[in-house]
Structure 1
Amino acid sequence: MKDVSTTASRTADSAAAAPLSLCTRRPKVPAERLVGAMVPPPRFDSVRFETYVPDPGQPSQSEAVRVLSGFAAGLGPGGTGGPGGPGGNAPDGGLKRWFRRGGRGARRAPGVGGSRGVYLDGGYGVGKTHLLASLWHAAPAPAERKAFGTFVELTHLVGALGFQQAVRTLSGHALLCIDEFELDDPGDTVLVSSLLGKLVDAGVALAATSNTLPGKLGEGRFAAADFLREIQGLSAHFRALRIDGEDYRHRGLPEAPPPADDARVTRAAYGTPGAALDDFPALLAHLATVHPSRYGALCDGLAAVCLTDVRPVPDQATALRLVVLADRLYDREVPVLASGVPFDALFGEEMLAGGYRKKYFRAISRLTALARDGAKLGAA
């Protein structure tokens, strides 16, 4: 491990305050915070349907805005099949075109094409999270009756509260938005299938994003045939909307900046109030000691993350933890400045060809975007 504190003492101004360190943070997150924090992250706090800019060459993007606007309207009083009861008037000929009531259960949330939810599928950077957060903001229900979180955060919530308490807590919601919907192991398959089934019966509307179609969830990660019934049950809750396009983070933008050297990273850390400075291998080791549900709290209050000695991730478990951290940093718009290998060299060829490849490519895309912001810190 590099002695970055010695380097810092030689390069930083004597009056500068020492930077923070992620490796010294061990946040404790009460279960009630996990529930209260289920809102769109800061990066998507101000997004709306009106601020989404569809690519003129990709009509599926404009279509997604239209369908989701109707979905949101159906959640209000008078929306067809929504918590407010049948009937109502919605744009584009009314929600009857898209939504209808289901047969099982006392109440049914609105759906699309006969389902009880909508599922946005597409590549990286086409604006799926922007649209999902816009739906959350547009849904005419108080914030405490709407929940927004990633798939990983949802499973962590169930782990913290227990299944029955999670069902009771989320059943009072009008809408549950699930970002980055993935099934990584058989336990999560059964858990989420059971949870969503209970919530649908309670009248909760569902919306999700992913890079994998509902019927393909879990493919390439475990023996999907052994859990086919659960996977099919999940996909039945959603009507899939395909969103085509290029990654907007790369569209018309320069390539990711090259890594900095250790001295530049250290100077930036000491010159940026609220920045954290960590050795990358030490940070990876520390992540193994913190539950991923706390990675959001791990990033609280950070103005930037400065990393020295970035190197390829050694194993899959470590890589998946890094993916979660990258997501939390991206949500919070925390710039990253690093030395070592570039971020597109973090994951080896075997990882990028395996069942978690979509997560790794997402992490590369997001870290690249944060590295562009971090390059400005280094220049300053």
Structure 2
Amino acid sequence: MTIVSTTAAHISETGSDCPGGAPVALTAREPHVPADQLVAEMVPPPRFDSVRFATYIPDPAQPSQAEAVTVLGGFAEGLGGAARTGSSGPRRWFRRVPKQAAPAGPRGVYLDGGYGVGKTHLLASLWHAAPAAPERKAFGTFVELTNLVGALGFQQTVRTLGDHQLLCIDEFELDDPGDTVLVSSLLAKLVENGVALAATSNTLPGKLGEGRFAAADFLREIQGLSAHFRTLRIDGEDYRHRGLPQAPEPYTEEQVTSAARRMSGASLDSFPALLGHLSRVHPSRYGALVEDVRAVCLTGLAPVPDQSTALRLVVLADRLYDREIPVLASGVPFDELFGEDMLKGGYRKKYFRAISRLTALARDGGALAGTDG
């Protein structure tokens, strides 16, 4: 499989790498991703490029994890009969696809569970196991899908994705009613065309209700699609921190700056300046923002001032984690980035996920400072 990545031609910078390996500033990047490339890049991110069902290690204490592997494997096998005639040959992104009747029975799976239980691993494994050619299956986050609709328009997105065998949506959002209804309408049209669906949850833990609220809320929001989904609850602890030491303590500004200058391809930014820059870049472009960056070095980490900023940081943390980009930082520890009110509020699951992922990346970043944490 070839992953189409954002090239230098699609990233304009007001500054560039200096001879000798001077670090780039993310705040100097203004990424732009053409509409056709948005479609081409709807594949599992680099971290999940090689995952398979066989590489998922279920926790013996959590039977739901092994059950999910079995059910998803069977679901992937069942997609083999969904191939359409006339879909071979060169890809034509914008052709009109004849409407086809949706097969009877569930045509989707919904993975419901806490952060760090391997939902994205399983979703990407399903994408890899689906028998269709890569150009006839799509994988993206909810944010990336809404951006695709914004770039192509609703009807064109239906035509573009309507001949796919499978659409996988990671981190399905329930906190933006407008976007949720938009995507719900899109999914209804795709199901009519026979596209199989798979999604992971991004629900609010305060409303989880023994893990059952996620499915109920999702199925209500997608208005009438409940018959097409089988819900899989995946229980367990965050695998990123099982038996591992705590994250390294923050480094000094001098250590961070020195590491950024030593490592070719590293970025170096002031954390407050980066937060300000994120407000001017659409979250769907955060992946392009860190394209080809080998390590992210940040100085002056401080508690995030407001919820809008915090939610943008969550998306950036997800894109860094997807791409396995280590992080080295000075300032407050990562578990102090989000205030108590945020960690007790409606978006707390997102913040805990961001802390979890940034902590994992901080362990990787320890080697850049000459320590393993």
Structure 2-normalised TM-score? 0.85
Q: Which one of 97, 108, 112 corresponds to residue 102 of structure 2?
A: 108
Residue 75 of structure 1 aligns with an amino acid whose one-letter code is L
Deviations 1:230-288 (A, max 9, x none): 45535443211011111110001111111101000001100110000000000000111
CA contact 1:76–1:84 (8 Å) conserved in 2: no
Matched residue, 2:215? 214
- Is residue 76 from structure 1 mapped to residue 85 from structure 2 by the alignment? no
* In 2: Cα distance, 1:363 partner to 1:139 partner: 29
- For residues 48-127 of structure 1, the aligned pairs below 5 Å read 48-77=52-81, 82-83=82-83, 106-109=100-103, 114-127=105-118
- For residues 297-376 of structure 1, the aligned pairs below 5 Å read 297-376=288-367
Residue 108 of structure 1 aligns with an amino acid whose one-letter code is A
Q: In structure 2, list runs of 5 or more residues that go unmatched.
A: 1-17, 86-98, 204-213
* In 1: Cα distance, 2:220 partner to 2:258 partner: 55
Matched residue, 2:26? 22
Residue 376 of structure 1 aligns with an amino acid whose one-letter code is A
Matched residue, 1:190? 181
Deviations 1:57-100 (A, max 9, x none): 111111111100100001113xxxx3469xxxxxxxxxxxxxxx
Matched residue, 1:203? 194
- Give 3-state SS (helix, strand or coil) of 2:31's partner: coil
Matched residue, 1:88? none
* In 1: Cα distance, 2:288 partner to 2:220 partner: 36
Residue 40 of structure 1 aligns with an amino acid whose one-letter code is P
Q: Cα distance 1:121–1:349, how it changes in 2: closer, same or farther (>3 A)?
A: same
CA contact 2:184–2:223 (8 Å) conserved in 1: no
1:108, CA displacement in angstroms?
Answer: 2.1
Q: Which one of 252, 263, 267 corresponds to residue 258 of structure 2?
A: 267
Residue 30 of structure 2 aligns with an amino acid whose one-letter code is R
Deviations 1:35-57 (A, max 9, x none): 10000000000011111111111
* In 2: Cα distance, 1:288 partner to 1:34 partner: 21
- For residues 122-271 of structure 1, the aligned pairs below 5 Å read 122-212=113-203, 213-217=214-218, 230-271=221-262
* In 2: Cα distance, 1:376 partner to 1:296 partner: 23
Q: Cα distance 1:109–1:142, how it changes in 2: closer, same or farther (>3 A)?
A: farther
- Is residue 283 from structure 1 mapped to residue 274 from structure 2 by the alignment? yes
- Give 3-state SS (helix, strand or coil) of 2:239's partner: coil
Q: Cα distance 1:240–1:283, how it changes in 2: closer, same or farther (>3 A)?
A: same
CA contact 1:39–1:148 (8 Å) conserved in 2: yes
Matched residue, 2:10? none
Residue 171 of structure 1 aligns with an amino acid whose one-letter code is G
CA contact 2:83–2:132 (8 Å) conserved in 1: no
Deviations 1:3-48 (A, max 9, x none): xxxxxxxxxxx98431111000001110111110000000000011
* In 2: Cα distance, 1:234 partner to 1:357 partner: 27
* In 2: Cα distance, 1:109 partner to 1:307 partner: 50
Matched residue, 1:47? 51
RMSD: 1.9
Matched residue, 1:9? none
**How many positions carry a matched residue from both structures?**
331
1:359, CA displacement in angstroms?
Answer: 1.1
Deviations 1:320-367 (A, max 9, x none): 111111111111000000000111111111111222111111111111
Structure 1-normalised TM-score? 0.84
Deviations 1:184-222 (A, max 9, x none): 2221121011000000000000001114323224xxxxx
1:115, CA displacement in angstroms?
Answer: 2.5
CA contact 1:109–1:205 (8 Å) conserved in 2: no
1:106, CA displacement in angstroms?
Answer: 3.9
